[in-house]
A and B are shown apart, each in its own frame.
Chain A
Amino acid sequence: MLQDILMDAKEWFPAGVHTELRAQCNRDRDVVLVQGSLTRNSREETRGVSARIYQNGVCGFSSVAEYTQDAAKNVLREAADNAAFMDRHAGKGKGTLPPFSGEGIVQREELPDTEQKRYIEVVKDFDDYLLRNCPHLTGRTVRAAEDSMEKLLKTSDGAEGHFISPRSFVYIFLNAETKDGAPVEVYAPLGGEGTFDRQFENPAVWYPKIDTLYRQLMDKREGVHAKAGLRTVILGGMMSGILAHESVGHTVEADAVLSGSVAATNLHRQVASEKVSMTDFAHTAFGERCPLPVFLDDEGIVCSDAPLIENGILTGYMHNRESAQHFDVAPTGNARAFLFSDEPLIRMRNTAVHPGKDRLEDMIASVEEGYYLLDYNNGQADATGEFMFGITCGYEIRKGKIGKAILDTTISGVAFDMLKTVDMVGDSVTWSCSGYCGKKQPMPVGMGGPALRCKVLIGGR
């Protein structure tokens, strides 16, 4: 745990400018077993302190990989020099930021450090299970990882925070060959928020998920190529989560809006079917704790939900303090930094499509010819909202029934066009929070949604 040695820090802050001082420790544990061989067995810790100073519309930032009072004073000085340099050469004369009188949020939880032995035991447990129960594998990789961030924050307008956000996963990669000898692969992350020893106290609770993954691999061995073109699809909950994040979420981050993303000209306009609503949740969604809750952001703003689409109408953006001032709205607490050496950027937290009323069975039964798409390995979107997701698990739908598995493919579309084709919305939400969102810095994020029936462009043959 970081000890609070910054109690008196406000006395060191320069006058007349907005200042943030943040101490942070990131902890990573990583164990990888490939074909039963331990190829990685590592522990990593980065720790330091940083300062950011906002002066007349530009910022200075500095960090050092050291956590002492002297280090804090040094980064404050260096950040002030940098802010002055930028103000001198490119200042915008904007004055300071509106004050925010948020309360401090201090977590009292400890962050227990699981012994390395436990990570190795768990990957071996899963590997043994694969050997015993998955006879047709040609390759297997099991990776156990925990990453956590601990942050201690002080700002010039009085916000204080000390909070911890750990998450832990075991990633399972399974390989097999088609009858023609072509390799196929499926993968799944198991786990979520919390420390490794809590998530994987009893690995056996995860075995049913491994059984499902193995079945999907066996189906994929017999898989067919998708037929390229515009198709009716049912996107599973994992897919609607990445859709919310990539194709809408990134375009409605206020910094992207200020750079002219497609959302800039669509506020208060119909951008989706009226069945679609979407929110970037701070910490609680649909009455439950989000997969990666965020209570206080790295500018000292107490986090609140950012409604994005309500019944098909684009209603708002995600903000940091500066963009909130620009748009004359309250900040939502979306400014987050990955390492102590990173400046806060506007980032998503837990972005999700709201559930509807349709049952998945009815949705599949309603499709004459199309695809049921369940999982992906990556996704991207751009300023236009044109998105792409790599599909790793999906099935044909023929006359309302699930057919053959499909081989890896890609789907794409333009978000605000594609969302208007949504005509059925499932009644339950699936969340995910493994992996990182990339935007100058990586960042853990949560995303989720229900099944959606819509039209997308699918690659294939």
Chain B
Amino acid sequence: MKTSKQPGQIVNTVLEHLRQKDAGVASCRAYEERTREINVDANAFSLMRTTFDRSVEISVYPGGKKGSVTVGSFDETDILRAAEDCLAAAEEAEADDAWQLEDRAGHQSFSDGVPEGDIDMLFQRVKELLEQIKREFPKIVIEQLVADHVLRNEYYGNSHGVSYERVLGAYHLWFMFTAQEDGKVTGYNYSNITTESLDKPLMDCGMIRQSLEDTERQLNPVPMEDRFTGTVLLTPKIAREIIGEALYQFTFDRALLTGNSVWKEKLGQKVADQRLTVSLKPRDKSVVCGARYTAEGYPAEDFDVIRNGVLNSFCLTKYAANKTGNERAGNNSFDLVIAPGSCPLKNLLSSIEKGLYVDGYSGGEPGPDGTFSAVAKNSFLIENGSITHPVTETMISGNLAEMLCSLRDLSAEQMEDGEGSVPYMAFDGLLISGR
């Protein structure tokens, strides 16, 4: 990257300026990022994109009053003006002694992933994927595919002498597709991975092959006419979405700060089936370039949110923890790891008398009590332990908090896509309804 100043120099310039202004507690994070991206639209290569971004995020807390300013420039005039704007913003705030940054001075340096990416190799891997799809899944049409390599050079420092320096790089692939035949089209499905290696074909990464197979089988869906209480078998991709919703609704800052969380008094108590352990683990081997530190300057540490069905920790920043009288979480990432079960997927499927296999989920944000209803997308009816046919116009209704207690089982198989690891999960007692 062509820049005259490094992020560390920017951070030190800002912190020194704020120190001279007697700003008190302050933090600054600066990064520069290069993204090289390949796009495919409607099955054909369409765009190559290279972007060079910079960002400087400054927060000050003079007398406990917080102000934040972000500016996309490393120009010294711009960053010093941003520091002044930040002080001016804080001046108008009210003091709140819940703001607290890491104050154990020290410096840590990290190099993660694959900083120098090989864009030619990435292009070849994408080309190979398109050819494989054409050959093995001829009904699939890619609506859009984005493959990139992102290189980031970042530095965080605060006025307590805490600093982190990090260079990281990773490849990402995201694509959305349908299956089409004789004028019929399925709903969109998608797949994505994050990886630091292009050693194997993209088709063999994450759940890509499985999602393509499932989507081709989605042609000729049958509208659900039935209404029954049954079992829902979630693919890992959808299990991640649903568990993520539950964590957001019940354990994150806003839920606790507003007092809305139905788990607010449940710390140390059973909130889920005892086979369920849900963790946020940026250091897990399944996570590529996971978080190393939090926005408040604390080192990122793995932790269990739910351990053997018991609520072990909320997912709170230090600010929200101080506000609500709870403990700060080990990290504020969403690097989700769910411990697998021992049941092979085929046995889990064959144990289901009537229900749905769900590889797509389109729902409104659950209510604060966890009530949800959603359209099942890319889904199949399960009858007597076997998948029978794809369905359309089918809704699933239930309550997230109750659902976690009605786990049928977790599969032994897991999806590892570079952003965590999640097994298939089946839940009983959900209302499945059609027209």
| A associates with B | yes
Asked whether B366 lies within 8 Å of A459 as measured between CB atoms, the reply is no
A interface residues, tally (CB under 8 Å): 85
**Chain A residue at smallest Cβ distance from B32:** A65
Residues of B within 8 A of A86 (CB): 45-48
A457→B395 contact, CB < 8 A: yes
**1/0 contact string of B261-301 vs chain A (CB within 8 Å):** 01000000000000000000000000000000000000000
B138 on the A face (CB < 8 A) = no
Contact assessment for A265 and B183 in the assembled complex, using a CB-CB cutoff below 8 Å: yes
Nearest B residue to A410 via CB reads: B373
A184 in contact (CB, < 8 A) = yes
Q: Is the CB of B51 within 8 A of A63?
A: yes
Q: Known contacts A34-B254, A386-B187; is A343 also within 8 Å of B47 by CB?
A: yes
Contacting pair B187 A383 (CB below 8 A): yes
B367 touches A412 (CB 8 A): no
Residues B257 and A382 in contact, CB atoms below 8 Å apart: no
Residue of A at shortest CB range from B38?
Answer: A86
- A37 — which chain B residues lie within 8 A by C-beta? 96, 98, 257, 323
Contact segment of B62-70, B192-200, B236-244: B62-70
Q: Which residues of chain A have C-beta atoms less than 8 A from B431's C-beta?
A: 228, 461
- Minimum CB distance partner of B261 in chain A: A183
Q: Which of B294-323 contact A (CB under 8 A)?
A: 319, 323
Could you tell me the distance between the alpha carbons of A140 and B260 in the complex, rounded to whole angstroms? 10
Closest to B374 in A: A410
Q: Is the CB of B227 within 8 A of A92?
A: no
Q: Which residues of B contact A45 (CB under 8 A)?
A: 70-72
| Interface residues in B377-435 (C-beta closer than 8 Å to A) | 377, 392-393, 395-397, 431, 433-435
Q: Tell me whether B146 is interfacial, beta carbon within 8 Å.
A: yes
Kindly state whether residue B88 has any CB partner on chain A within 8 Å: yes
Residue of B nearest to A117 (CB): B92
CB distance from B122 to the nearest CB of A (A): 12
User: Are A34 and B257 in touch, CB under 8 angstroms?
Assistant: yes
Please name the residue on chain A nearest to B262 by beta carbon.
Answer: A183
B397: chain A residues at CB < 8 Å are 228, 409-410, 459-461
Q: How far is the CA of A382 from the CA of B227 in the complex (A)?
A: 24
Question: In the complex the two chains form, what is the Cα distance from A193 to B4 in whole Å?
Answer: 39
> How far, in whole Å, are A34 and B93 apart by their CA atoms in the complex?
13
Asked if B331 CB lies within 8 Å of chain A CBs, one says no
A237–B144 alpha-carbon span in the complex (Å): 32
Judged by a CB distance under 8 angstroms, whether A372 is at the interface is no
Asked whether, in the complex, the Cβ of B41 is within 8 Å of the Cβ of A58, the reply is: no
Asked if B368 contacts A185 (CB within 8 A), the reply is yes
Which residues does chain B contribute within 8 Å of A261, judged by CB atoms? 185
Q: Which chain A positions have C-beta within 8 A of B253?
A: 39
Q: Given A47-B73, A386-B377, are A228 and B433 neighbors across the interface (CB < 8 Å)? A: yes
Q: Mark A399-412, 1 if CB is under 8 A from B, else 0.
A: 00000000111101
Residue A258 is within 8 A (CB to CB) of chain B in the complex: yes
- The verdict on A9 contacting chain B, using a C-beta distance below 8 Å, is no
Among residues of A, the one whose C-beta sits closest to the C-beta of B187 is A382
Check A258–B42 contact: CB distance below 8 A.
Answer: yes
Check if B188 is an interface residue, CB within 8 A of chain A.
Answer: yes
Q: Known contacts being A65-B54, A384-B186, is A83 close to B363, with CB within 8 Å?
A: no
Total contacts A-B at CB 8 Å: 253
Knowing A62-B50, A89-B45, A410-B363, the reply to whether A384 touches B185 (Cβ < 8 A) is yes
- Does B143 make an interface contact (CB < 8 A)? yes
**B95-143: which residues lie under 8 A (CB-CB) from chain A?**
96, 98, 123, 127, 141-143
Is residue A260 contacting chain B, with contact meaning CB distance below 8 A? yes
A9-B43 Cα distance, complex, nearest whole Å = 34
B214 at the interface (CB under 8 A from A): no
Q: Which chain A residues lie closer than 8 Å to B85 at the CB level?
A: 43, 116
From residue 362 to 379 of chain A, which have CB atoms closer than 8 A to chain B? 376-378
- Interchain CA distance A228-B397 in the complex, whole Å: 9
- Mask of B21-46 contacts with A, CB within 8 angstroms, 1/0: 00000000000000000000111111
**In the complex, what distance in Å separates the CA atom of A413 from the CA atom of B262?**
31
Q: Which residues of B contact A35 (CB under 8 A)?
A: 257-259
B213 at the interface (CB under 8 A from A): no
B16 proximity list for chain A (CB < 8 A): none
Whether B66 and A41, one on each chain, are in contact in the complex, defined by CB atoms closer than 8 angstroms, is yes
Q: With A and B bound together, what is the CA distance between A230 and B364 in angstroms?
A: 18
B42: chain A residues at CB < 8 Å are 255, 258-260
Q: Considering the chains assembled together, what is the distance between the CA atoms of A59 and B48 in angstroms?
A: 6
Q: Are A41 and B364 CB-contacts (below 8 A) given A60-B47, A82-B50, A409-B373? A: no
The distance from the CB of A4 to the nearest CB of chain B, in whole angstroms, is 19
Report if A66-B393 is in contact (Cβ < 8 Å); known contacts: A229-B435, A260-B178. Answer: no
Q: Are B46 and A38 in contact (CB under 8 A)?
A: no
Check B353 for interface membership: any CB of A closer than 8 A. Answer: no
Q: Complex: how many Å from CA A59 to CA B186?
A: 29
**B139 to A: closest C-beta gap in Å:** 11
Q: Which residue of A lies closest to B366 (CB)?
A: A408
Chain B minimum-CB-distance residue to A43: B69
In the complex, whether B369 has a CB less than 8 A from a CB of chain A is yes
B208 at the interface (CB under 8 A from A): no
- Mask, A244-280, CB within 8 Å of B = 1, is 0000000000011011111001000000000000000
CB within 8 Å for A388 and B363 given contacts A65-B54, A116-B88, A120-B93:
yes
Contact indicator B393/A412 (Cβ below 8 Å): yes
CB-defined contacts of A185 to chain B, threshold 8 Å: 260, 367-368
If the complex has contacts A384-B185, A461-B397, are A48 and B72 also in contact, measured as CB distance less than 8 A?
yes
CA gap between A388 and B396 in the complex, in Å: 12
Across-interface contacts of A412 in B (CB, < 8 A): 362, 375, 393, 395
The interface residues of chain B lying within 8 Å CB-to-CB of A407 are 367, 371
Output the nearest chain A residue to B367 by Cβ-Cβ distance: A408
Binding stretch for chain B, among A155-163, A205-213, A350-358, A389-397: A389-397
Once A43-B85, A410-B363 are accepted as A-B contacts, the answer to whether A175 and B368 lie under 8 Å apart by CB is: yes
CB of A17 within 8 Å of the partner chain:
no
Smallest beta-carbon distance B382→chain A, Å = 20
Question: What 0/1 readout, one digit per residue, does chain B (46-62) give for beta carbons within 8 Å of chain A?
Answer: 11111111110000000
- Which residues from A are CB-within-8-Å of B363? 388, 390, 410
Expressed in whole angstroms, the Cα–Cα distance for A64 and B183 within the complex equals 43
Q: Is B204 an interface residue (CB 8 A)?
A: no
| B333 CB–A CB distance under 8 Å | no
Residues of B contacting A47 in the complex (Cβ-Cβ under 8 angstroms): 72-73
B397–chain A nearest beta-carbon distance, Å: 5
- Please indicate the chain A residues that have their CB under 8 angstroms from the CB of B367 in the complex: 183-185, 407-408
Residues of B within 8 A of A440 (CB): 144, 146
**Is B143's CB under 8 angstroms from A457's CB?**
no
Do A388 and B51 have beta carbons less than 8 Å apart? Answer: no
List B contacts of A85 (CB < 8 A). 48
Inter-chain contact B72/A46, CB cutoff 8 Å: yes
Write 20 A-B pairs (CB below 8 A) sorted by A numbering.
A37-B98, A41-B67, A41-B92, A42-B69, A43-B68, A45-B71, A48-B53, A59-B46, A61-B47, A63-B50, A90-B45, A116-B92, A120-B92, A141-B258, A228-B373, A259-B42, A259-B143, A260-B141, A376-B364, A440-B144
Could you tell me which B residues sit within 8 Å of A by CB distance? 41-55, 66-73, 75, 85-86, 88-90, 92-94, 96, 98, 123, 127, 141-144, 146, 178, 180, 183, 185-188, 227, 253-254, 257-260, 262, 319, 323, 362-369, 371-375, 377, 392-393, 395-397, 431, 433-435
Q: Which 8 residue pairs are nearest across A and B when measured between Cβ atoms?
A: A390-B364, A459-B373, A90-B45, A139-B258, A46-B72, A408-B367, A42-B68, A183-B368
